[in-house]
Amino acid sequence: GDSVTQMEGPVTLSEEAFLTINCTYTATGYPSLFWYVQYPGEGLQLLLKATKADDKGSNKGFEATYRKETTSFHLEKGSVQVSDSAVYFCALSYQGDTDKLIFGTGTRLQVFP
Amino acid sequence: EAQVTQNPRYLITVTGKKLTVTCSQNMNHEYMSWYRQDPGLGLRQIYYSMNVEVTDKGDVPEGYKVSRKEKRNFPLILESPSPNQTSLYFCASRVGGAETQYFGPGTRLLVL
């Protein structure tokens, strides 16, 4: 079946460091890929998405490229801030009637000043 | 403000005592879902609904019930809660034809 694998956390960085959070997926079809972010005590918010191969999603300085050849959707940011500290979830879905997002286990990012 | 609301936000209960977690959205979304979040497992879908009176099971439906009598509301019912249902629960909604889901703030449930 379909699945999403994320790197284990926590990821601990100093402010202004470069961030990469790895995400790979297994899919039987051609899903859309997402990164959601969960700030402390809050629900999940969509950070960015890509709907087909080679698409790049970007938002708030974060980027991720849909790589079909490596089945990956790694999240990157050039210079993290303390306010980026959160849990990041990679997910996939197929548009249709099942309405299901398949999530990775989440990666906690901690950014220190 | 467009939002998904859940109540209560925190709940402590005992085994076997029926409870309901409410979910409401004001965006006129057709699709609504319930997820549970557990450490090391990410979020898993419990039930979803494509519209009023249309519901179906997700990946982990055992021990849960849902109903969709109105478009805006999608309550989650635990008729006889057990400790393995201790979790963080999220409601989500989206408009038909779109992929982006909007999540509520979560309900943290502890079953003793």
Residues A105, B94: C-beta atoms closer than 8 Å: no
CA pair distance B29, B94, nearest whole angstrom: 5
For residue A106, name the pLDDT band (cuts at 50, 70, 90): very high
Contact A46, A36 (CB under 8 A): yes
Mean pLDDT for chain B overall? 94
Residues A42, B105: C-beta atoms closer than 8 Å: yes
Q: What is the mean pLDDT of residues A34-63?
A: 93
| Residue A59 at interface with chain B, using a CB cutoff of 8 Å | no
Residues B42, A103: C-beta atoms closer than 8 Å: yes
**At residue B106, does pLDDT exceed 80?**
yes
Task: Determine if the peptide bond prior to B39 is cis (ω within 30°).
Answer: no
How is residue A53 written in tokens? 């191969």
Task: Please write the tens of the pLDDT for every residue from B13-24.
Answer: 999 999 999 999
CA pair distance A51, A31, nearest whole angstrom: 7
Residues B44, A95: C-beta atoms closer than 8 Å: no
CA pair distance B83, B91, nearest whole angstrom: 20
B53's CB contacts (< 8 A; 6+ apart) are B68, B69
Residues of A in contact with B54 (CB under 8 A): none
Residues of A in contact with B101 (CB under 8 A): 46, 99, 101
CA pair distance B57, B76, nearest whole angstrom: 12
DSSP B112: -
Share of chain A above pLDDT 70, in %: 96
Task: Please write the tens of the pLDDT for every residue from B31-73.
Answer: 999 999 998 888 999 999 999 999 999 999 999 999 999 999 9
Residues B50, A43: C-beta atoms closer than 8 Å: no
Please name the residue that has the structure tokens 């309900």.
Answer: B107
